[in-house]
Structure 1
């Protein structure tokens, strides 16, 4: 026996995982939740369109589904959308 049975790897400690993993709020990235909330709040307050809340819940469910496999999906998508096209083919 080498005495390593009860040892815990430093990488698996909760403190280090919090530094390396993405922070998800209710299963989706925080900036997407804020954007979804602001847009739905604007529709409800300015246009008195309450049915947008159902659409907002559906958008949140879609964001959770997309972020389940890859937490950086929306960051990569935003970088791709603002990427300049260097080759005009």
Structure 2
């Protein structure tokens, strides 16, 4: 049942959109983008495999952007999934 009475002064607080939207870099979560860039730089600079590093970054970033479109917090969920042991593991 909807109540259409006006709220008393000071009862409602505006919530800015920037407080609820996750931080994304290049369309992927910040942590995933930093990890992708670090691994691509290690391949490109450290092992002198420039092409492999660039291809790795493009593919990994694309996968992260695809996953972030479905769930912007997929990196946090993945980390929690890896850290938590299953109850019914044999």
Q: TM-score range by the shorter chain?
A: 0.7 to 0.9
RMSD over aligned Cα atoms? 1.8
More helix by share: 1
2:57 matched residue in structure 1: 56
Runs of 4+ with deviation above 6 angstroms: none
1:5 matched residue in structure 2: none
Query: How many residues are matched?
Result: 77
Gaps of 5+ in 2: 1-13
Alignment deviations for residues 43-70 of structure 1 (CA, whole Å, 9 cap, x no partner): 1112100122112111101100100121
> What is the TM-score normalised by the length of structure 2?
0.75
> What is the TM-score normalised by the length of structure 1?
0.75
Instruction: State the Cα distance separating 1:20 from its structure 2 match.
Output: 1.3
1:42 matched residue in structure 2: 42
